Chain A
Amino acid sequence: MRDAVAELVRDGDTVAIEGFTHLISFAAGHEIIRQRKRDLTLARLTPDLIYDQMVAAGVARKLIFSWLGNPGVGGLNAIRRRIEDADPAPLEIEEYSHFGMVGRYTAGAANLPFYPLRSYFETDLPTANPLIRPIASPYGDGIVYAVPPLKPDVTVVHAQRADAAGDTQVWGLLGCQKEAAFAAERVIVVVEELVDESVIRADPNRTIIPGLIVDAVVVEPFGAHPSYVQGAYDRDNRFYREWDPISRDEAALQAWLGDWVHGLDGRAAYVEKLGAERVAALRPSGSAPSGSVDYGRYG
């Protein structure tokens, strides 16, 4: 991870660490903090705790998003301080809706000049964000709003497994990692498990990202904690709740970053610090395997 971030993430980059609740690469975010990257534009539908931590650590100058909260708990307090009180400095924001963000990645990935959607008419969002613009249908049936393509310099995707070439397979919530990866200039894939190419080829429908577009494959078990990996570990809702009081107090937050990010040399140390008991408690309570399908041999 150290090498991948050092080589592929540069000061001033637009970085997308995607994953909708599921498969959020906290390991990559923490490494970006450790390497003290600066002036990043951070893009994500739901900034989640990872961007709250990265913003608090001072790596970001701008945020592109569509839902800014800690689901079921409250707000993202470090980001809110920056927006509400410019404390310790203002944070530039560029705001969309979920579908708008998905459309932006889709246009970026498909090399389109914009993405049209029915949203935004008669709302205040186009006033808040002038990049959301109305266009008339060329076929004469009304107006839709357009959002511009989003092409991150770097997209980071956490996944269950990949082979050494970066062919990446995901199951569970798919979010828009695929679109975000195809839209990006550089792609880092972080996986729970590195597998042989034959494992990928035995189930090609599950491949969301081909190695063709991947620049680095990093093996980082438990690298998505406190988010989760379907079938491997649960969302650590306890941590999502604990983050609220920590992040309300700037000193407590900086102390947390010191203990859990700067004070550790990587994810393995983080998992060790978390402790075997906490890790074991997050394993699924049982197994729920899919029935296998038979692709057949032809020739």
Chain B
Amino acid sequence: MGDDAAPGMPFTKSEMMIVAAARELAGQRVCFVGVGLPNIAVNLAKRTVAPDLELVYEAGVFGAQPARLPLSIGDPTIVSGATAVTSMWDLFSLYLQGGLIDVGFLGAAQIDRFGNINTTVIGPYDHPTTRLPGSGGACEIAINARQVFVIMRQSRRSFVERIDFRTSAGNLGGAEAAARIRREQGWIGSGPSVVVTDLGVYHFDETGEMRLDSLHPDATLDDVRATIGWEPKIAPDLATTATPTDEELRLVRVELDPEGAYTR
């Protein structure tokens, strides 16, 4: 973003997060779409940087062409016009565990520095303070997709030193252990590769730990440190995320989320 960039429309932190997440999908072919924020990010990518992206939904759809952004990921719009509708057994066995998914796109309630994810409980499992939805398909997506992208808002409650429950495996205790387990267990995936938040974009370094590579405009490193439960690694050549274009904002506001369900 140079000084000579034309001033675009104002945008919210959520819109920046969704746009940045969509851009990460450039060049990808087959994406397994998780419930919630991944849904709008992936649908935006299909309309911008990745028009040939095949959208896969755990409900049993390959090659969806949603005409509207569904509230749920089992909406009738993902069926009409799709390439294939399959049983869930087909989808999880042949498409996912069989290794056809390039990117699994997940949300999370808690994440640690190695990209391990909790979507099950806050507090102890038997007496949780907050009962979250659980795995759904996330624990299988996390190990069987070739790589995993995560989109979630950053806070001290969500970016934690120690997650309360490991629902989905990321880089476990670090890259070395993760590589060994993946090899021994015959997992097809190489684990988490991107985390996009309302403050920036992280990738994973050679130790398997999250590293901030791009800071969103208007966000500061103080904001980042104040909302993360460990001392975050920052790329020496930290970039500034390009602001959303007018067209990206139009797609999000007018076409994908006119009621503001995802961007509020």
A residues touching B (Cβ–Cβ < 8 Å)?
20-22, 45-46, 65-69, 71-73, 75, 79-80, 83-84, 95-99, 102, 106, 117-125, 127-128, 141-143, 171-176, 178-179, 228, 230, 234-235, 237, 240, 284, 288
Among B74, B130, B136, B166, max chain A CB count under 10 A is at: B74
* B131–A83 CB distance below 8 A: yes
B58, B125, B128, B181: the one within 8 Å of A122 (CB): B181
B158 touches A (CB below 8 Å): no
A80 to chain B, nearest CB (A): 5
Which 6 pairs between the two chains have the least Cβ-Cβ distance? Answer: A21-B74, A67-B136, A71-B72, A69-B133, A72-B71, A97-B135
* B59–A22 CB distance below 8 A: yes
Residues of the A chain whose Cβ atoms lie less than 8 Å from the Cβ of B125: 124, 127-128
- Which residue on chain B has the smallest CB distance to residue A23? B74
Give the number of A-B contacts (CB < 8 Å): 168
* B89–A106 CB distance below 8 A: yes
* B88–A98 CB distance below 8 A: yes
Complex Cα spacing A172 to B138, Å: 23
- Which residue on chain B has the smallest CB distance to residue A227? B74
A230 to chain B, nearest CB (A): 5
* B186–A141 CB distance below 8 A: yes
Complex Cα spacing A178 to B169, Å: 30
Beyond A84-B129, A128-B120, A288-B80, whether A174 also contacts B73 by CB under 8 A is no
Beyond A20-B74, A72-B36, A99-B137, whether A124 also contacts B166 by CB under 8 A is yes
B residues touching A (Cβ–Cβ < 8 Å)?
35-36, 58-61, 70-76, 79-81, 85-89, 92-93, 96-97, 120, 125, 127-140, 143-144, 165-169, 172, 181, 184-187, 261
Beyond A102-B88, A174-B88, whether A235 also contacts B75 by CB under 8 A is yes
Complex Cα spacing A15 to B255, Å: 40
Beyond A71-B73, A121-B181, A121-B185, whether A20 also contacts B60 by CB under 8 A is yes
Residues of the B chain whose Cβ atoms lie less than 8 Å from the Cβ of A175: 59-60, 87-88
Beyond A99-B92, A172-B85, whether A143 also contacts B185 by CB under 8 A is yes
Complex Cα spacing A264 to B109, Å: 40
Residues of the B chain whose Cβ atoms lie less than 8 Å from the Cβ of A45: 88, 136
Q: List 30 A-B contacts (CB under 8 A).
A: A20-B59, A21-B72, A21-B73, A21-B75, A45-B88, A45-B136, A67-B135, A67-B136, A83-B131, A97-B138, A98-B135, A98-B140, A102-B88, A118-B140, A118-B186, A119-B139, A121-B185, A122-B172, A122-B181, A123-B168, A124-B165, A125-B120, A125-B167, A171-B85, A173-B74, A173-B85, A175-B87, A237-B71, A240-B72, A288-B80
Complex Cα spacing A120 to B169, Å: 8
Residues of the B chain whose Cβ atoms lie less than 8 Å from the Cβ of A122: 166, 169, 172, 181
Complex Cα spacing A155 to B166, Å: 32
Q: Knowing that A84-B129, A106-B89 are A-B contacts, what are 14 other residue pairs whose CB atoms are under 8 Å apart, sorted by A's residue number?
A: A21-B74, A67-B136, A71-B74, A72-B71, A72-B261, A97-B139, A118-B97, A118-B187, A119-B143, A125-B139, A142-B184, A143-B185, A176-B87, A288-B80
Complex Cα spacing A228 to B75, Å: 8
